[in-house]
Chains A and B, each alone.
Chain A
């Protein structure tokens, strides 16, 4: 589904990604971990096409297409979803309207008719239940005045609405209390099918108690320096990163 080869990216004249290799297949869950500032969020942003970053080298294939030549919205319409670490506020635009525009754009790209108002409302009701999102939130402006927990639930609600092939969740667990974490993580798990894939970026093993990864990767200084199965996350939780990154520190 996703094949990243030797990906380099920079912002200004600062290189952040220095040769990422990653392959994600349908049905898989990958976790990306690593110390602060190692490039995890940049990787998510670059894959989504954020124009703040410049790709200087490498290849990314998504569903057999050269993804780097596609715009942000084209990637989205192909089925790439990014759950934001810091969801953005859009004053005056209700969540319901925002999602309606988004859902219908996605449908258009797939050659489907726009949803009727009734169909859309039904869909919204059904999907907001996935993350126990208060239905009142959808009539409020996008992320405006949402609590930290509501913002993150709202990201997963949007994921449910858009039904992506590949979801990249950037620290969806940060700032959540235990209950919200369970709800958000359970939501993600319920959306997981053999046809789609999920990449979760996280600092904490506790998220991975709910979302069980097939692979865990450690990102450090712009490279994936180690990959393993879910036991790696447990080990990292116990022992930290030092045993892994010592060799790279001097670089």
Chain B
């Protein structure tokens, strides 16, 4: 191996998560461990109605009968579920008076990501009222949404204020019986978002804009429910390119999306949780269940950029129940150092003339392991189902791993399913060529990786595409000058 490759490897291995920041947090917590009493306590603290408590308990009792899943290509340390704190009141971030008090390193990262100043302040915990009237911004958003009849609030609020919708839809796509972590989440979910778009309404803004400012204190067991009623449209963005650190190592979120007849939902995720240090110590375990249900003629598109977390276990899926419905999955998953990711999607074709498209781009560096796992299933009645899958892997260095586990399961002879896969490396020649034109090794690697991921990045909402591009480059950044 040439010196150049060694340098890059070296730099990647030395590259730290530069944006973790720890604030002194005063939290109202309950004792460690999980029991029916703990669940009652959570429900009580949240002031929930009885029916919700009953649902939680039912999920908990079911969870007790389950074993931790071990089929993923992941090396998961044993998790002691009795050593987890299942409820912490929203954490007030330490308030800073001005941007000058923000950790310069963090500020630098924000600048690199190109996050607007106002949002930087909100994210870093600067007392925003002192510098900008974010409250009025939020109010404007809320007014605009309310005018259209769109409900967008926390799931806790929704349980109290829109019980009929919650009863109807919560758990309808991801029931508590679905899997180990879905059951756990259903029992102990802390909070999350609820979004309802009425019939025929085209949501006038990317819900990202609102969400990002509002996103402080997202929980450990997040629960998201999106309902797009007939003929409506919404584009929703979860997460943030900005660094996120959390005291809680275990994260198990559930996202459910109901896409009614002829509705269209675009769900984008940028995940940048703390991945652990360069020796693989610490980091978030991220076990997520995401699924959408498409009725007749409905369309659901998942786009994800995953760069964070020590362990990622996540398969945003589409159940194409209605005839002529379609699903898409676009993913960039990047792992570095000792990160592990097992991610992909399921496309379940049930209705006739259903279509799905999968584009997955894995990037592995350092000692990391990156797996794509996908399932395309065509039910007996799904005449003329179509799927196109493309799974690419890019390796940086020779100590990382890329794995692909595609499963195709077709019960209908009229289905047309295509699968393409490639594995490539950043070549010495590409680096030499780029550097000969004046680019540093880091810039060249960042550019090549972004070129590789372009097809997915272009699916993100515009402002996020730009940030995500920078995020990919930063996540690979090392000490080479």
Contact = CB atoms under 8 A, between A and B. Distances in A.
**Interface size, A (range):** 20 to 34
B439 interface: yes
A105 B443 contact: yes
A73 interface: yes
Contacts of B439: 73, 101-102, 105
Interface stretch (A13-21, A83-91, A210-218): A83-91
B451 A84 contact: no
A72 B435 contact: yes
Among A72, A102, A109, A158, the most chain B Cβ lie within 10 Å of the Cβ of: A72
B452 A76 contact: no
Nearest to A81: B436
Contacts of B454: 92-93
A162 B438 contact: yes
Contacts of B428: 51-52
Given A71-B435, A76-B438, A98 B447 contact: yes
B450 interface: yes
A84 B452 CA distance: 23
B256 to A, nearest CB: 33
Nearest to A89: B430
Contacts of B429: 88
A93 B440 contact: no
Contacts of B450: 92-93
B437 A98 contact: yes
A76 B435 CA distance: 8
B433 interface: yes
A197 B443 CA distance: 28
Interface in A13-52: 48-52
Contacts of A191: none
A82 B435 CA distance: 11
Nearest to A88: B433
B436 A82 contact: yes
Interface in A92-135: 92-93, 97-99, 101-102, 105-106, 109
Given A51-B2, A52-B2, A73-B438, A93 B433 contact: no
Contacts of A93: 447-448, 450-451, 454
B453 interface: yes
B427 A88 contact: yes
Nearest to B447: A93
Contacts of B448: 90, 93
Interface in A47-86: 48-52, 71-73, 76-77, 81-82, 84
A4 interface: no
B269 to A, nearest CB: 21
B432 interface: yes
A141 interface: yes
B430 A90 contact: yes
Interface string B447-470: 110111111000000000000000
A158 B451 CA distance: 19
B3 A84 contact: no
Contact of A76 (B2, B3, B437, B453): B437
A198 B454 CA distance: 37
A58 B476 CA distance: 36
Interface of A: 48-52, 71-73, 76-77, 81-82, 84, 87-93, 97-99, 101-102, 105-106, 109, 141, 158, 162
The 10 A-B residue pairs with the shortest CB-CB distance, nearest first, are A92-B451, A93-B451, A102-B437, A72-B435, A105-B438, A88-B433, A92-B454, A51-B4, A76-B438, A73-B435
Given A90-B434, A92-B454, A105-B439, 18 more contacts: A51-B4, A52-B428, A72-B436, A76-B435, A76-B438, A81-B436, A82-B436, A88-B427, A88-B430, A89-B430, A90-B430, A92-B450, A93-B448, A93-B450, A98-B434, A101-B447, A141-B451, A162-B438
21 contacts: A48-B436, A50-B432, A51-B432, A52-B2, A72-B435, A73-B438, A73-B439, A73-B440, A77-B438, A88-B432, A90-B430, A91-B451, A92-B454, A97-B447, A98-B437, A98-B447, A101-B439, A101-B447, A102-B439, A141-B451, A158-B437
